[in-house]
Amino acid sequence: MRVTGMREHAATAAGTSTVDPELVGKRLLILGGGLWQLEYVRRARQLGLETWVTDWSAAAIAREDADHFESIDVKDQEATLGVARRARVDGVLTAADIGVPTAAYVAEQLGLAGHSRELADIATNKFKMRERSRRLGIACPWYRLVRSSGDALAAVGAGALPVIVKPVDNCSSRGVRWVDRTGDLGAAVEEALTASRRAEALVEEFLVGVEGSIEALVQDGRTIVLGCCDKTKSPLPDRFDLELRYPGAFDDRVCRDLEQLAQRIASGFEVRDGILHIEFLVSRDGATVYLIEFAIRGCGSKVVTHLMPALTGVDVVRTVIRQALGLKSQIEPARTRHGALHFLMFPRGRVAAVRGVEAALHVPGVVDACVERRPGDVIDEVHDGRSRPGHVLAWGRDRDEVQRVIGEVRALIRLDYDGVADVKPIALPEDRIR
Protein backbone atom coordinates (compact mmCIF):
# COMPACT_ATOMS: atom_id res chain seq x y z
CA MET A 1 0.00 0.00 0.00
CA ARG A 2 1.30 3.46 -0.89
CA VAL A 3 -0.36 6.50 0.67
CA THR A 4 -0.23 9.62 -1.48
CA GLY A 5 1.96 12.29 0.07
CA MET A 6 3.34 10.14 2.89
CA ARG A 7 6.85 11.14 3.87
CA GLU A 8 9.47 8.54 3.11
CA HIS A 9 11.97 9.50 5.80
CA ALA A 10 11.00 9.62 9.46
CA ALA A 11 13.83 12.00 10.36
CA THR A 12 12.10 14.77 8.37
CA ALA A 13 9.44 15.22 11.03
CA ALA A 14 10.49 13.28 14.08
CA GLY A 15 13.97 14.60 14.66
CA THR A 16 17.35 13.02 14.29
CA SER A 17 17.97 9.57 12.86
CA THR A 18 21.22 9.14 14.83
CA VAL A 19 21.89 5.67 16.18
CA ASP A 20 21.30 5.42 19.95
CA PRO A 21 24.24 3.56 21.53
CA GLU A 22 22.02 2.22 24.32
CA LEU A 23 19.69 0.61 21.79
CA VAL A 24 22.14 -0.88 19.30
CA GLY A 25 21.77 -4.64 19.01
CA LYS A 26 18.58 -4.86 21.06
CA ARG A 27 15.41 -6.42 19.68
CA LEU A 28 12.01 -4.74 19.69
CA LEU A 29 8.61 -6.30 18.99
CA ILE A 30 6.09 -3.82 17.57
CA LEU A 31 2.45 -4.88 17.53
CA GLY A 32 0.67 -3.48 14.48
CA GLY A 33 2.12 -2.61 11.11
CA GLY A 34 -0.40 -0.03 9.92
CA LEU A 35 0.15 3.57 8.89
CA TRP A 36 0.25 4.97 12.43
CA GLN A 37 2.78 2.32 13.54
CA LEU A 38 5.07 2.87 10.55
CA GLU A 39 7.03 5.71 12.15
CA TYR A 40 7.91 3.55 15.17
CA VAL A 41 9.22 0.79 12.91
CA ARG A 42 11.35 3.14 10.84
CA ARG A 43 12.75 5.03 13.78
CA ALA A 44 13.51 1.85 15.73
CA ARG A 45 15.71 0.62 12.90
CA GLN A 46 17.37 4.02 12.51
CA LEU A 47 18.16 4.03 16.23
CA GLY A 48 19.95 0.70 15.91
CA LEU A 49 17.29 -1.81 16.95
CA GLU A 50 16.41 -5.06 15.27
CA THR A 51 12.65 -5.01 14.68
CA TRP A 52 9.94 -7.67 14.70
CA VAL A 53 6.50 -6.49 13.53
CA THR A 54 3.20 -8.35 13.67
CA ASP A 55 -0.06 -7.46 11.97
CA TRP A 56 -3.15 -9.43 10.94
CA SER A 57 -2.66 -8.22 7.35
CA ALA A 58 0.12 -9.79 5.31
CA ALA A 59 0.07 -6.56 3.26
CA ALA A 60 0.64 -4.24 6.24
CA ILE A 61 2.37 -1.03 5.14
CA ALA A 62 5.21 -1.41 7.70
CA ARG A 63 6.15 -4.87 6.48
CA GLU A 64 8.78 -3.60 4.04
CA ASP A 65 10.45 -1.49 6.75
CA ALA A 66 10.66 -4.24 9.39
CA ASP A 67 13.62 -6.57 9.82
CA HIS A 68 11.18 -9.40 10.51
CA PHE A 69 7.43 -9.58 9.94
CA GLU A 70 4.81 -12.13 10.91
CA SER A 71 1.16 -12.06 9.94
CA ILE A 72 -0.46 -12.49 13.36
CA ASP A 73 -3.57 -10.85 14.78
CA VAL A 74 -2.32 -8.47 17.47
CA LYS A 75 -5.20 -9.65 19.70
CA ASP A 76 -3.76 -13.19 19.69
CA GLN A 77 -1.78 -13.11 22.91
CA GLU A 78 -0.35 -16.63 22.83
CA ALA A 79 0.79 -16.43 19.20
CA THR A 80 2.39 -13.06 19.90
CA LEU A 81 4.12 -14.42 22.99
CA GLY A 82 5.47 -17.26 20.84
CA VAL A 83 7.04 -14.77 18.42
CA ALA A 84 8.51 -12.79 21.31
CA ARG A 85 10.07 -15.90 22.83
CA ARG A 86 11.53 -17.11 19.54
CA ALA A 87 12.93 -13.67 18.75
CA ARG A 88 14.25 -13.19 22.30
CA VAL A 89 13.02 -9.60 22.24
CA ASP A 90 14.19 -7.00 24.73
CA GLY A 91 11.03 -4.91 24.56
CA VAL A 92 7.50 -4.70 23.19
CA LEU A 93 5.34 -1.73 22.25
CA THR A 94 2.20 -0.86 20.35
CA ALA A 95 0.67 2.36 19.08
CA ALA A 96 -2.72 0.72 18.58
CA ASP A 97 -5.44 0.39 21.22
CA ILE A 98 -6.26 -3.09 20.04
CA GLY A 99 -2.70 -4.22 20.79
CA VAL A 100 -2.44 -2.76 24.30
CA PRO A 101 -3.64 -5.85 26.24
CA THR A 102 -1.37 -8.15 24.21
CA ALA A 103 1.67 -5.92 24.75
CA ALA A 104 1.01 -5.92 28.51
CA TYR A 105 0.62 -9.71 28.51
CA VAL A 106 3.90 -10.28 26.65
CA ALA A 107 5.74 -7.82 28.90
CA GLU A 108 4.43 -9.57 32.03
CA GLN A 109 5.26 -13.07 30.78
CA LEU A 110 8.81 -12.15 29.75
CA GLY A 111 9.59 -9.71 32.55
CA LEU A 112 9.93 -6.74 30.17
CA ALA A 113 9.20 -3.07 30.72
CA GLY A 114 5.57 -2.17 30.09
CA HIS A 115 2.16 -1.46 31.52
CA SER A 116 0.41 -3.81 33.94
CA ARG A 117 -2.31 -6.02 32.54
CA GLU A 118 -4.80 -4.34 34.88
CA LEU A 119 -3.96 -0.91 33.45
CA ALA A 120 -4.13 -2.26 29.90
CA ASP A 121 -7.59 -3.68 30.61
CA ILE A 122 -8.92 -0.46 32.13
CA ALA A 123 -7.43 1.74 29.41
CA THR A 124 -9.19 -0.28 26.69
CA ASN A 125 -12.55 -0.61 28.45
CA LYS A 126 -14.45 2.65 28.75
CA PHE A 127 -16.80 1.33 31.42
CA LYS A 128 -13.97 0.24 33.71
CA MET A 129 -12.27 3.57 33.01
CA ARG A 130 -15.43 5.40 34.06
CA GLU A 131 -15.73 3.34 37.24
CA ARG A 132 -12.14 4.02 38.32
CA SER A 133 -12.44 7.71 37.39
CA ARG A 134 -15.56 8.05 39.53
CA ARG A 135 -13.77 6.51 42.50
CA LEU A 136 -10.84 8.89 41.97
CA GLY A 137 -13.16 11.91 41.91
CA ILE A 138 -12.39 12.78 38.28
CA ALA A 139 -15.34 14.58 36.68
CA CYS A 140 -17.13 12.46 34.06
CA PRO A 141 -20.54 12.42 32.36
CA TRP A 142 -23.14 10.11 33.91
CA TYR A 143 -23.11 6.71 32.24
CA ARG A 144 -24.80 3.33 32.05
CA LEU A 145 -23.38 0.02 30.83
CA VAL A 146 -25.80 -1.74 28.46
CA ARG A 147 -25.78 -5.07 26.63
CA SER A 148 -29.01 -4.64 24.68
CA SER A 149 -31.33 -1.97 23.36
CA GLY A 150 -33.74 -2.99 26.13
CA ASP A 151 -31.10 -2.18 28.74
CA ALA A 152 -30.66 1.25 27.20
CA LEU A 153 -34.36 2.01 27.06
CA ALA A 154 -34.73 0.98 30.70
CA ALA A 155 -31.77 3.11 31.78
CA VAL A 156 -32.54 6.28 29.88
CA GLY A 157 -35.66 8.28 30.49
CA ALA A 158 -36.92 10.94 28.09
CA GLY A 159 -35.56 13.61 30.42
CA ALA A 160 -32.02 12.25 30.04
CA LEU A 161 -31.86 12.84 26.29
CA PRO A 162 -29.77 13.67 24.34
CA VAL A 163 -27.13 11.04 25.05
CA ILE A 164 -23.99 9.62 23.46
CA VAL A 165 -23.92 5.89 22.69
CA LYS A 166 -20.54 4.22 22.20
CA PRO A 167 -18.92 0.76 22.30
CA VAL A 168 -16.88 0.17 25.45
CA ASP A 169 -13.81 -1.02 23.54
CA ASN A 170 -13.29 0.66 20.20
CA CYS A 171 -11.61 3.85 18.99
CA SER A 172 -11.69 6.48 16.22
CA SER A 173 -15.36 7.18 17.01
CA ARG A 174 -16.46 3.88 15.45
CA GLY A 175 -19.98 3.02 16.57
CA VAL A 176 -20.40 6.37 18.37
CA ARG A 177 -23.72 8.16 17.92
CA TRP A 178 -25.58 11.13 19.38
CA VAL A 179 -29.22 10.32 20.12
CA ASP A 180 -31.92 12.85 20.98
CA ARG A 181 -35.05 10.73 20.44
CA THR A 182 -36.07 7.59 22.29
CA GLY A 183 -37.09 5.99 19.00
CA ASP A 184 -33.50 6.22 17.69
CA LEU A 185 -31.87 4.76 20.81
CA GLY A 186 -32.28 1.08 19.96
CA ALA A 187 -30.59 1.34 16.54
CA ALA A 188 -27.69 3.36 17.99
CA VAL A 189 -27.17 0.79 20.74
CA GLU A 190 -27.21 -2.11 18.29
CA GLU A 191 -24.60 -0.34 16.16
CA ALA A 192 -22.40 0.23 19.21
CA LEU A 193 -22.76 -3.39 20.36
CA THR A 194 -21.78 -4.60 16.89
CA ALA A 195 -18.65 -2.41 17.05
CA SER A 196 -17.72 -3.80 20.50
CA ARG A 197 -15.56 -6.89 20.86
CA ARG A 198 -17.25 -7.48 24.24
CA ALA A 199 -20.76 -6.75 22.90
CA GLU A 200 -21.09 -3.98 25.51
CA ALA A 201 -21.88 -0.30 25.13
CA LEU A 202 -22.05 2.86 27.20
CA VAL A 203 -24.93 5.30 27.18
CA GLU A 204 -23.59 8.61 28.46
CA GLU A 205 -24.73 12.12 29.19
CA PHE A 206 -24.18 14.43 26.22
CA LEU A 207 -22.05 17.24 27.55
CA VAL A 208 -21.94 20.69 25.97
CA GLY A 209 -18.70 22.65 25.87
CA VAL A 210 -15.32 22.77 24.15
CA GLU A 211 -13.74 19.40 23.40
CA GLY A 212 -10.01 18.85 23.21
CA SER A 213 -7.22 16.42 23.89
CA ILE A 214 -3.92 16.25 25.75
CA GLU A 215 -0.70 14.59 24.62
CA ALA A 216 1.62 13.82 27.53
CA LEU A 217 4.64 11.69 28.27
CA VAL A 218 4.99 10.00 31.65
CA GLN A 219 8.32 9.15 33.24
CA ASP A 220 8.68 7.81 36.77
CA GLY A 221 5.04 8.73 37.36
CA ARG A 222 5.48 12.40 36.43
CA THR A 223 3.60 13.82 33.44
CA ILE A 224 5.17 16.15 30.90
CA VAL A 225 2.39 17.73 28.85
CA LEU A 226 3.45 18.25 25.25
CA GLY A 227 0.27 19.84 24.00
CA CYS A 228 -3.40 20.55 24.68
CA CYS A 229 -5.75 21.31 21.80
CA ASP A 230 -9.27 22.44 21.16
CA LYS A 231 -11.27 20.77 18.40
CA THR A 232 -13.81 21.16 15.68
CA LYS A 233 -16.08 18.11 15.69
CA SER A 234 -18.23 16.58 12.96
CA PRO A 235 -21.90 17.50 12.64
CA LEU A 236 -24.28 15.39 14.72
CA PRO A 237 -25.20 12.56 15.00
CA ASP A 238 -21.56 11.55 14.34
CA ARG A 239 -18.84 12.75 16.70
CA PHE A 240 -15.41 12.42 15.10
CA ASP A 241 -12.69 15.09 14.91
CA LEU A 242 -12.30 17.48 11.98
CA GLU A 243 -9.57 19.79 13.28
CA LEU A 244 -7.25 19.90 16.32
CA ARG A 245 -5.59 23.24 17.18
CA TYR A 246 -2.55 23.55 19.48
CA PRO A 247 -2.40 25.16 21.96
CA GLY A 248 -6.11 25.21 22.74
CA ALA A 249 -7.79 28.56 23.28
CA PHE A 250 -8.17 28.13 27.04
CA ASP A 251 -7.47 30.58 29.83
CA ASP A 252 -4.66 30.02 32.33
CA ARG A 253 -6.91 28.43 34.95
CA VAL A 254 -8.28 25.85 32.52
CA CYS A 255 -4.75 25.11 31.29
CA ARG A 256 -3.70 24.41 34.89
CA ASP A 257 -6.75 22.18 35.32
CA LEU A 258 -5.77 20.23 32.19
CA GLU A 259 -2.22 19.69 33.43
CA GLN A 260 -3.62 18.53 36.77
CA LEU A 261 -6.00 16.14 34.97
CA ALA A 262 -3.08 14.51 33.16
CA GLN A 263 -1.20 14.04 36.43
CA ARG A 264 -4.29 12.74 38.26
CA ILE A 265 -4.75 10.11 35.55
CA ALA A 266 -1.10 9.06 35.68
CA SER A 267 -1.18 8.83 39.47
CA GLY A 268 -4.67 7.38 39.92
CA PHE A 269 -4.34 4.74 37.20
CA GLU A 270 -0.72 3.98 38.13
CA VAL A 271 0.88 4.92 34.82
CA ARG A 272 4.60 4.95 35.64
CA ASP A 273 6.10 5.38 32.18
CA GLY A 274 4.70 5.80 28.70
CA ILE A 275 2.48 8.11 26.71
CA LEU A 276 -1.04 9.36 27.40
CA HIS A 277 -3.69 10.57 24.98
CA ILE A 278 -6.47 12.19 27.01
CA GLU A 279 -9.76 13.43 25.57
CA PHE A 280 -11.67 16.00 27.60
CA LEU A 281 -14.46 18.55 27.52
CA VAL A 282 -14.44 21.97 29.18
CA SER A 283 -17.93 22.96 30.28
CA ARG A 284 -19.55 25.96 28.63
CA ASP A 285 -18.97 28.09 31.73
CA GLY A 286 -15.36 26.94 32.00
CA ALA A 287 -15.89 25.71 35.55
CA THR A 288 -15.42 21.97 34.97
CA VAL A 289 -13.03 19.82 32.96
CA TYR A 290 -14.61 16.44 32.21
CA LEU A 291 -12.67 13.34 31.26
CA ILE A 292 -14.14 11.80 28.12
CA GLU A 293 -11.57 8.97 27.89
CA PHE A 294 -7.85 8.31 27.76
CA ALA A 295 -5.51 5.88 26.05
CA ILE A 296 -2.02 4.63 26.90
CA ARG A 297 -0.85 5.31 23.36
CA GLY A 298 -0.40 8.53 21.46
CA CYS A 299 -2.85 10.37 19.22
CA GLY A 300 -3.01 8.96 15.70
CA SER A 301 -2.86 10.78 12.36
CA LYS A 302 0.86 11.45 13.01
CA VAL A 303 0.14 13.93 15.83
CA VAL A 304 2.62 12.39 18.31
CA THR A 305 5.06 11.09 15.72
CA HIS A 306 5.28 14.23 13.58
CA LEU A 307 3.35 17.25 14.90
CA MET A 308 4.40 17.17 18.58
CA PRO A 309 8.13 17.00 17.70
CA ALA A 310 7.68 19.95 15.31
CA LEU A 311 5.87 22.01 17.97
CA THR A 312 7.97 21.11 21.03
CA GLY A 313 11.32 19.75 19.87
CA VAL A 314 10.72 16.56 21.87
CA ASP A 315 11.58 13.36 20.01
CA VAL A 316 8.47 11.50 21.14
CA VAL A 317 9.03 8.31 19.16
CA ARG A 318 12.57 7.85 20.48
CA THR A 319 11.35 8.44 24.04
CA VAL A 320 8.56 5.85 23.71
CA ILE A 321 10.91 3.31 22.15
CA ARG A 322 13.46 3.79 24.91
CA GLN A 323 10.75 3.37 27.55
CA ALA A 324 9.74 0.08 25.94
CA LEU A 325 13.30 -1.08 26.58
CA GLY A 326 13.19 0.14 30.20
CA LEU A 327 15.38 3.21 29.53
CA LYS A 328 14.84 6.81 30.65
CA SER A 329 15.12 9.93 28.49
CA GLN A 330 15.61 13.61 29.06
CA ILE A 331 12.21 15.12 28.23
CA GLU A 332 12.39 18.90 27.98
CA PRO A 333 10.22 20.77 25.47
CA ALA A 334 12.59 23.20 23.73
CA ARG A 335 10.02 25.40 22.04
CA THR A 336 6.33 26.25 21.91
CA ARG A 337 4.79 26.63 18.47
CA HIS A 338 1.22 26.77 17.30
CA GLY A 339 0.03 23.93 15.12
CA ALA A 340 -2.94 21.96 13.85
CA LEU A 341 -4.16 18.68 12.49
CA HIS A 342 -6.71 19.45 9.80
CA PHE A 343 -8.65 16.69 8.07
CA LEU A 344 -9.27 16.90 4.34
CA MET A 345 -12.83 15.87 3.54
CA PHE A 346 -14.12 15.29 0.02
CA PRO A 347 -17.55 14.60 -1.51
CA ARG A 348 -18.52 11.09 -2.52
CA GLY A 349 -16.98 9.68 -5.69
CA ARG A 350 -14.53 7.23 -7.25
CA VAL A 351 -10.99 8.60 -7.36
CA ALA A 352 -9.32 8.79 -10.77
CA ALA A 353 -6.30 10.93 -9.76
CA VAL A 354 -4.81 12.74 -6.76
CA ARG A 355 -3.04 16.02 -7.50
CA GLY A 356 -1.15 18.70 -5.60
CA VAL A 357 0.07 16.72 -2.59
CA GLU A 358 3.74 16.95 -3.49
CA ALA A 359 3.44 20.72 -3.93
CA ALA A 360 1.61 20.93 -0.59
CA LEU A 361 4.49 19.17 1.18
CA HIS A 362 6.78 22.05 0.15
CA VAL A 363 4.60 24.81 1.57
CA PRO A 364 6.50 26.46 4.49
CA GLY A 365 5.00 25.33 7.78
CA VAL A 366 3.66 22.02 6.45
CA VAL A 367 4.77 19.05 8.55
CA ASP A 368 2.83 16.53 6.50
CA ALA A 369 0.07 16.37 3.92
CA CYS A 370 -1.54 13.11 2.98
CA VAL A 371 -4.41 11.70 0.92
CA GLU A 372 -5.11 8.11 1.93
CA ARG A 373 -6.90 7.24 -1.28
CA ARG A 374 -5.55 5.99 -4.59
CA PRO A 375 -7.02 5.89 -8.10
CA GLY A 376 -9.84 3.38 -8.09
CA ASP A 377 -10.73 3.92 -4.44
CA VAL A 378 -14.21 5.13 -3.54
CA ILE A 379 -14.71 8.01 -1.12
CA ASP A 380 -18.00 7.57 0.69
CA GLU A 381 -19.79 9.40 3.49
CA VAL A 382 -17.62 9.58 6.60
CA HIS A 383 -19.10 8.46 9.93
CA ASP A 384 -15.97 7.75 11.99
CA GLY A 385 -12.33 8.72 12.26
CA ARG A 386 -10.97 5.78 10.28
CA SER A 387 -12.82 6.87 7.13
CA ARG A 388 -11.41 10.41 6.79
CA PRO A 389 -9.66 10.55 3.40
CA GLY A 390 -6.77 12.90 4.13
CA HIS A 391 -5.10 15.34 6.49
CA VAL A 392 -2.68 18.23 6.89
CA LEU A 393 -0.27 18.82 9.77
CA ALA A 394 0.98 22.39 10.00
CA TRP A 395 2.77 24.78 12.37
CA GLY A 396 3.16 28.56 12.62
CA ARG A 397 3.88 31.46 14.94
CA ASP A 398 0.20 31.85 15.87
CA ARG A 399 -3.23 30.47 15.06
CA ASP A 400 -3.77 32.77 12.12
CA GLU A 401 -0.52 31.71 10.47
CA VAL A 402 -1.38 28.05 10.93
CA GLN A 403 -4.75 28.60 9.27
CA ARG A 404 -3.04 30.42 6.37
CA VAL A 405 -0.77 27.42 5.85
CA ILE A 406 -3.75 25.06 5.89
CA GLY A 407 -5.53 27.32 3.42
CA GLU A 408 -2.58 27.11 1.02
CA VAL A 409 -2.64 23.33 1.21
CA ARG A 410 -6.38 23.17 0.63
CA ALA A 411 -5.93 25.38 -2.46
CA LEU A 412 -3.34 22.98 -3.90
CA ILE A 413 -4.82 19.52 -3.33
CA ARG A 414 -7.38 18.35 -5.84
CA LEU A 415 -8.93 15.02 -6.75
CA ASP A 416 -10.27 13.91 -10.09
CA TYR A 417 -13.24 11.56 -9.99
CA ASP A 418 -14.62 9.38 -12.76
CA GLY A 419 -16.27 11.96 -15.00
CA VAL A 420 -15.55 14.92 -12.68
CA ALA A 421 -12.30 16.91 -12.56
CA ASP A 422 -10.79 19.30 -10.02
CA VAL A 423 -12.71 18.23 -6.92
CA LYS A 424 -11.89 20.52 -3.98
CA PRO A 425 -11.84 19.62 -0.26
CA ILE A 426 -15.14 20.31 1.46
CA ALA A 427 -15.20 23.34 3.75
CA LEU A 428 -15.35 22.21 7.36
CA PRO A 429 -18.53 23.10 9.23
CA GLU A 430 -18.43 25.31 12.28
CA ASP A 431 -18.74 23.30 15.50
CA ARG A 432 -21.90 24.77 17.04
CA ILE A 433 -22.22 22.29 19.90
CA ARG A 434 -20.52 24.46 22.52
* Domains in the chain with CATH codes: 11-122 (3.40.50.20), 142-205 (3.30.1490.20), 207-337 (3.30.470.20), 339-423 (3.30.470.20)
In this model, does residue 299 exceed pLDDT 80?
Answer: yes
Collect all residues with Cβ–Cβ distance below 8 Å to 238 and sequence separation of at least 6.
173, 176, 177, 178, 382, 383, 384
346 in helix, strand or coil? Answer: coil
Backbone dihedral region of 309: left (phi > 0), alpha (psi from -120 to 50 degrees) or beta? alpha
Kindly report the backbone phi and psi dihedral angles of residue 144, in degrees, each rounded to the nearest multiple of 5, phi listed first. Answer: -140, 135
For range 144-168, the mean pLDDT: 91
pLDDT at 171: 81
142 in helix, strand or coil? Answer: coil
| Confidence class for position 12, pLDDT limits 50, 70, 90 | very low
For range 223-237, the mean pLDDT: 96
Residues forming beta bridges with residue 233, ordered by sequence position: 241
In this model, does residue 173 exceed pLDDT 80?
Answer: no
Residues forming beta bridges with residue 354, ordered by sequence position: 415
Q: Which residue has the higher pLDDT, 58 or 428?
A: 58
| Confidence class for position 3, pLDDT limits 50, 70, 90 | low
For range 34-53, the mean pLDDT: 95
pLDDT at 158: 63
Q: How many other C-beta atoms lie within 10 A of the C-beta of residue 18? A: 11
Q: What is the DSSP letter of 51?
A: E
Collect all residues with Cβ–Cβ distance below 8 Å to 27 and sequence separation of at least 6.
49, 50, 51, 52, 87, 88, 89, 90, 91
Q: What is the DSSP letter of 7?
A: -
Q: Tell me the pLDDT of the chain averaged across its residues.
A: 94
Query: What's the whole-model pTM score?
Result: 0.93
Sign of CA dihedral 66, 71, 77, 82: negative
Percent of the chain with pLDDT over 90: 89
For range 104-122, the mean pLDDT: 98
| Confidence class for position 431, pLDDT limits 50, 70, 90 | low
Kindly tell me the burial class for residue 53, based on how many C-beta atoms sit within 10 Å of its own C-beta (0-12, 13-18, 19 or more): buried
| Confidence class for position 6, pLDDT limits 50, 70, 90 | very low
Residues forming beta bridges with residue 393, ordered by sequence position: 341, 368
